[in-house]
Structure 1
Amino acid sequence: MATDGDIRVLVAIDLVLSTIFSTLVVWGLSFVGSLTFSWVTVGLATLLLALVTYLAVLR
């Protein structure tokens, strides 16, 4: 029988992966000239992606 696991570990992994993905997306958009790279933009994108992931997968 499988367990759901510790929610803190799931949230931590979600934040790490969301940060990596958001950094790559913001850097890519900056590279093509669609967006200016800033850590604030990366942070906001990370929070948005982590929230969407949490609502879609963990709830």
Structure 2
Amino acid sequence: MSDKLNSDDPRRALQMEIEAVGVAMSLGAEGVKTVARQAPKVVRQARSVASSKGMPPRR
């Protein structure tokens, strides 16, 4: 997945991959191959519901 990230910093690229895997696993993906395969779909879904203003503060 790193070759598709827009980061020249390898540590940041790794952190982004770890976060993406965590999100995919929390949505029910199992196994590294499955998570990697589902990553583009997860990104599209996240972008479709994301707000440019961020999340409201929790109470």
TM-score (norm 2): 0.39
Q: Which has the bigger relative contact order, CA under 8 A and spacing at least 6?
A: 1
Q: Which has the higher helix share?
A: 1
Max radius of gyration: which structure?
1
